[in-house]
Structure 1
Amino acid sequence: MRDQAELHKELIDSMTVGGSLRSEPWKRAVETVPRHEFLRGGFFRSVPGAVPSAWSPVLEGGDGWMEGCYADESLVTQIAGTIVPADIRGEIMRSPTSSSTLPSLVLRMLEDLQVEPGSRVLEIGTGTGYSTAVLCARLGEDQVTSIEYDEDVASRARTALARLDVYPTLITGDGLLGHPGGAPYDRVIATCGVHTVPAAWIEQTRPGGLILATIGGWLGSSELARLTVHDDGTASGPFLGGGVSFMLARPHLPPPLGLLPDLSAGEERKAIVGADILSDWTSRFVVQTAVPAAQQLALQHEGQVETVLIDAASGSWAALREEGGHWIVRQGGPEPLWDVAENQLGRWRACGAPALEEFTVHVTPEGQTIRW
């Protein structure tokens, strides 16, 4: 096992060279926070080549544990809502539900938060507690409130922070509701993705304060946004770029699809844009802005795999397949999903297909709007 101090220094140097760690105050803060203290329960490592995805545990003191703690990687710490590394012998094929975000993204976001001395910060998603500890090292524990949805995750974070003698205000509950008891905050930062920016965050942030959150959709594309809260109770701001992705907050996960509609029905036409557009991060984000309630899946139909979009709430759907060198779309339900997507893509392309950094988010009591 390599020396912890050496690994920690290498990580800090790497983040500095890479540009995620840009200022001395944050560098001094991260130097005081040993990441391995927040991973004593171990983590899961993906099994190479496993289909479907599989995970194997790496426990404290085991082969690669310390090196993993200081690798610039996101480390899965919980699977299927309850399972931690110590619960598993061998491999598990379930979905991750909690993780320790890669340190370079943690520090990039903390830098982008633009805190000032004395800033009061509300963190949504305590996770392991690592980012909470770095915030406390920079601002002081009295300035930091952190909310975690999962009771078990919150308990482990509380224990890890206590080992370092760090005691911020820790709340177990729905982070989408914020914590009005500590408001107003100067900054809000979310380490989970959201489908729409919750009104509570805006209400609990002082005018002129900032909200840093990853806004995503059920098609799997997302981006980091920095919103300024205005005197009239609205908030707006730009996307910051970089293709940032977090697990969606559990209350913002898509609804179950339930019984699928009859995908053999519907009207067919030649598609203007094919489903291959969904493999591009920015194009997929544009489609999400047009059909925000749609989910994507691949289904076998008449011997061919089709890309299917389904809006579980409305029952609208679109199925696309390649045929003879072009794409065919078949649609059903009250709204032709692919027509809406193609129209939005056409408008975006007519504007020169701007990058996500040229998009802005506007949040009002009536809802959220994304523009370019």
Structure 2
Amino acid sequence: MSTSARLRDTLTDRLTEDGTLTEPEWSSAARSVPRELFTGSYFAPVAGSAPTRYRPVREGTPGWLEGVYSDRTLITQLDGRTRPDDVTEGAAVSGSPSSSSTLPSLVLRMWQQLGVEAGHRVLEIGTGTGYSTALGAHRLGSTRLTSIEYDPVVGAAAAAALEAAGFAPRLIIGDGLRGDPDGDPYDRLIATCAVRYVPLPWLHQVRPGGKILVTLSGWGYASALALLEVTGPGEATGRFLPGCTSFMIARPHDRPPRPTLALLPGDERPSRIDPGKLDEWTGAWVAQLAVPAAERLGAGAEQILWDVSTGSQARTAAHPDGGWTVVQRGPVRLWDRVERAVQCWQSADEPGQEAFGLTVSAAGQRVWLGSEDGPGWDLPI
């Protein structure tokens, strides 16, 4: 048995033992698809660097293959342009991750959550390295899978890797938020990027009764994974799933460039909530629902919200005598909205994201807590 096959078996066994892999078809895919074909080189973060710097790890270097078969996300591009092979051996570079091979446990868990069956036609948004695409093609057959990649360089590399692995799904270079330009009906849609709202073309390209699995995120860097059932053309409903799932946000949905942050004076008052609640996974999600156009910075008692579009700001601090204060300025009182949303969540005993749902209709896209007629927030369309 080759080293690669041995490492695949070890990873698959571990994911089976911890309960991630529960379906034999996906176990077979995990044992069969060679991840190293899709991650010939990747970036490793330099320990202790701030801001984070990255060094390339290339095929054949010590620990390369073991890294490929670790259950972690491997960064394959920075700033939408820099790939590991562009960096001089031994050098370290900084940048924002823009493409990656997602950790295998998450990819396989999501494929299982999607509920695909033999004969289903699936549309994948975000080919990336092509590893997830290969897993899907192994399970369904190449002719049942279409995958769309926004970045032509990333897409070309994925196409070559898929061919080397023996798969030939239909690949498209384009804006995945627009869906398949041919508009064929699909049984399932899976997104390996995050979006601020569900793109309307998806809701017309998945047949009624079909399902969409997508991560909702935003400029506050909070995320939640939703499984939706399409109920009619342009309509869907479903719930968010438990666990912590995050993906890089689709480039057309990313926040606009902002100038250097300047904290300006404003109106000060006591805060009615602990700002540290925004450091919790679901607390951050609730705050983002309340102020979807705001970027969140800071941590603990010192949170900063900044809405570039309106110039509105909010910043919190611990008060020397106990409690917290907030300073707000601008036309949108960001912290007022966050307080109301967090207090609503707290009144329901701070449930996890599985207590939330999403309804998409001609009236808009609304996240709700508990039930469709419960409290809710509109997504920014």
Q: Same fold (TM over 0.5)?
A: yes
**Per-residue deviation at 1:278?**
1.4
For 2:281 and 2:32, locate their aligned partners in 1 and report how far apart those are by CA, in whole Å.
Answer: 36
Residue 340 of structure 2 corresponds to residue 343 of structure 1? yes
**1:38 is matched by which residue type in structure 2?**
F
What is the CA distance between 1:315 and its match in structure 2? 2.3
Distance verdict in 2 for CA 1:364–1:259, change over 3 Å: farther
Q: Tell me the alpha carbon deviations over residues 124-157 of structure 1, each in whole angstroms, 9 at most, x when there is no partner.
A: 0000101111111111111100000001000000
Once the two structures are TM-superposed, the CA of residue 298 in structure 1 deviates from its matched residue by 4.3
Aligned to 2:36: 36
Change (3 A) 1:150 1:141: same
Provide Cα deviations, 1:175-219, integer angstroms capped at 9, x if missing partner: 110004152010000001111111111111000000000111211
Question: Which residue does the alignment assign to 1:156?
Answer: 157
**Offset, 1:51:** 1.2
Provide the secondary structure at the position in 2 that maps to 1:181: coil
Matches within 5 A, 1:104-119: 104-119=105-120
Q: Please tell me the residue identity of whatever aligns with 2:7.
A: L
Contact 1:212 1:227 in 2 (8 A): yes
CA deviation vs aligned residue, 1:317-349 (integer Å, no higher than 9, x gap): 212122212211111111211011101111111
CA contact (8 A) 1:274 1:320 kept: no
Single out whichever of 24-33 and 168-177 deviates more from structure 2. Answer: 24-33
Structure 2 CA distance for aligned equivalents of residues 50 and 198 of structure 1 = 37
Cα RMSD (Å) of the superposition? 1.6
Q: Match of 2:49?
A: 50
1:240 and 1:337 mapped to 2: Cα distance?
27
Using the TM superposition, give the Cα deviation of residue 232 of structure 1 relative to its aligned residue in structure 2, in angstroms: 5.2
Residue aligning to 2:379: none
| 1:260 to 1:83, Cα distance in 2 relative to 1, 3 A | closer
Q: Which residue type is aligned with residue 309 of structure 2? A: A
Q: Distance in 1 between matches of 2:298 and 2:102?
A: 29
Partner Cα separation in structure 2 for residue 298 and residue 215 of structure 1: 22
Choose 232-241 or 103-112, whichever is displaced more. Answer: 232-241
Q: Kindly indicate whether the alpha-carbon contact (under 8 Å) linking 2:240 and 2:356 is maintained by their aligned counterparts in 1.
A: yes
Partner of 1:94: 95
The equivalent of 1:323 in structure 2 is 319
Where in structure 1 are there 5+ consecutive unaligned residues?
300-304
SS in 2 for 1:220: coil
Quick one: percent identity of the two aligned structures? 46
Out of 295, 307, 311, which is 1:311 matched to?
307
Q: Which whole-Å deviations, capped at 9, do the CAs of 1:30-54 have from their partners, x for residues lacking one?
A: 22211111112x0011111111111
TM-score by length of 1: 0.94
Tell me, yes or no, if the aligned pair for 2:143 and 2:170 is still in contact at 8 Å. Answer: yes
Match of 1:302 in 2: none
Q: C-alpha distance in 1, partners of 2:316/2:86? A: 42
Deviations 1:222-247 (A, max 9, x none): 11110000025311111111110111
Following TM superposition, by how much is the alpha carbon of 1:260 offset from its aligned partner in structure 2, in angstroms?
5.3
**How far apart in 1 are the matches of 2:62 and 2:174?**
35
8 Å contact 1:145–1:182 — kept in the other structure?
A: no
Unaligned stretches of 5+ residues in structure 2: 370-381
The answer on whether the counterparts of 1:43 and 1:77 sit within 8 Å (CA) in structure 2 is yes
Q: Check conservation: 1:261, 1:315, Cα contact below 8 A.
A: no
Q: Deviations over 1:277-302 (max 9, x none)?
A: 21111111111111111112349xxx
Report how many aligned residue pairs link the two structures.
364
Contact 2:200/2:234, CA 8 A, preserved across alignment: no
Change (3 A) 1:58 1:261: closer
* Distance across 1 between alignment mates of 2:349 and 2:297: 29
Contact residue 263 and residue 319 of structure 1 kept, 8 A: no
